A = this chain, B = another copy of it.
Amino acid sequence: MQIKKETLQELNQQHLADHKKQFDFIALQIPNVENILQKLIAFQIAIPSWALGTGGTRFGRFPGGGEPSSLEEKIEDVGLLHSLNQSSGAISLHIPWDIPEDANAIKALAARYNLKFDAVNSNTFQDQPGQAFSYKYGSLQHVDANVRRQAIAHNIEVIKHGEALGSKALTVWLSDGSCFPGQLNFREAFKRTLESLQEIYKALPADWKIFIEYKAFEPNFYSMTVGDWGQSYLFSSKLGSKAYSLVDLGHHLPNANIEQIVSLLMMEDKLAGFHFNDSKYGDDDLTVGSIKPYQLFLIFKELVEGMDAKGLDHATDLAWMIDASHNVKDPLEDLLQSTEAIMIAYARALLVDATTLQQAQQENDVVKAQEILQSAFLTDVRPIIAEARMLSGGALRPLESFRVLNARGELIKVRGNKTLATGL
């Protein structure tokens, strides 16, 4: 399903007067609203190919209809999102779920939707049919060199697929670890994993990066071999300047201060970017901003401050991706909500008065520092984001438009009610 520009414009037209009033009002109160609009327009968040279908847990999965059953349909879905919000201009593929048989055709298709190919993702946490060795006891950490070699080769193959499509980074998330005390020698597992990563690192094209994602627990329930930012940092710093640590918001122990981790990884020039989602208990993979929107804002506050201090380009120097699971919502609606939540957090972070904040910090004026942050957080920035979207040719109200246009209904008509997207 592809939405025509004119259709969107018609829909926008209905809300334009209202929007104009609200945007003008907020624009008056914000210095440099133009600058903020430009940053919002440039900011693109990749959609993972595996999050376009209904997600599930070990207890079950309740699929909806019209899910994409091919890479082409997944690109179509991301194109649909992007046409609505103009902020979803990239797709992140997962191999082997999304092996592009004809890379050029796939590239052309994506270009038609104005989409880029973000980081490619390898999968050594599941066994594939016909696979010679099992990952039951790990992959890059495995005691058996055969298994490690197979996992390394898979990662190198993923890089090749990515190169063909124009990706510039490989994301390695390892489920490696152990379920029971004694199962693993932590040191030896670390060393084997490092050696395996070094083999993969060697195969990286010159202009590529490798992202080392960490996770506190699940699917291993005693130890994870890349379990926290400290371990991820050890790996990325030992690997070299093309290696970075990737932060997934749901991959931490309870109560972790993620914004501080983000700040320190930036300090060390080791922050790869983000897998956005939200959670209350573990890696719940809920809609971004649905549980802890203030934490998300605080993270963006660190990002903006850190990227500015480092002279980084907000839009391109870090990797931005949603990594959520859609168990009870329509996946596309969920992704529209997630993207909106990210843009809101980013816009609010851009509103933080950095000079005054720094001054308050210098004076240990804790009360004032809080006022500055909360003042940015309390500002209703929705009209600014809508304006940025409209300026880019998107919808003033993406979710409403999705429903008004009966997008899911149209997809079900074409694809049927029983399709199942690959993914988790």
Q: How far is the CB of A377 from chain B (nearest CB, A)?
A: 8
Q: How far is the CB of A344 from chain B (nearest CB, A)?
A: 7
Q: How far is the CB of A13 from chain B (nearest CB, A)?
A: 20
Known: A126-B59, A187-B306. A367 touches B219 (CB 8 A): no
Q: Are B222 and A280 in contact (CB under 8 A)?
A: yes
Which of chain A's residues 337-379 have a Cβ closer than 8 Å to chain B?
337, 344, 357-358, 360-362, 364, 366-367, 369-374, 377-379
Q: Are B182 and A286 in contact (CB under 8 A)?
A: no
When distances are taken between beta carbons in the complex, the residues of chain B under 8 Å from A23 are: none
Total copies of the chain: 4
In the bound assembly, the distance between CA atoms of A230 and B255 in angstroms comes to: 16
A137 within 8 A of B: yes
* A294 in complex: contacting residue of B55, B143, B293, B301, CB < 8 Å: B293
In the complex, what residue of chain B is closest to A229 when comparing beta carbons?
B230
> Residue-by-residue, is A122-156 near B (CB-CB < 8 Å gives 1, otherwise 0)?
00011100000011110000010000000000000
Q: Are A361 and B281 in contact (CB under 8 A)?
A: no
Interface hit among A30-38, A74-82, A259-267, A386-394: A259-267
A311 within 8 A of B: no
Q: Are B183 and A328 in contact (CB under 8 A)?
A: yes
Q: Are B125 and A221 in contact (CB under 8 A)?
A: no
State the 9 A-B residue pairs at the shortest beta-carbon distance, nearest first. Answer: A230-B230, A182-B369, A62-B136, A221-B284, A186-B263, A57-B219, A60-B126, A253-B253, A254-B254
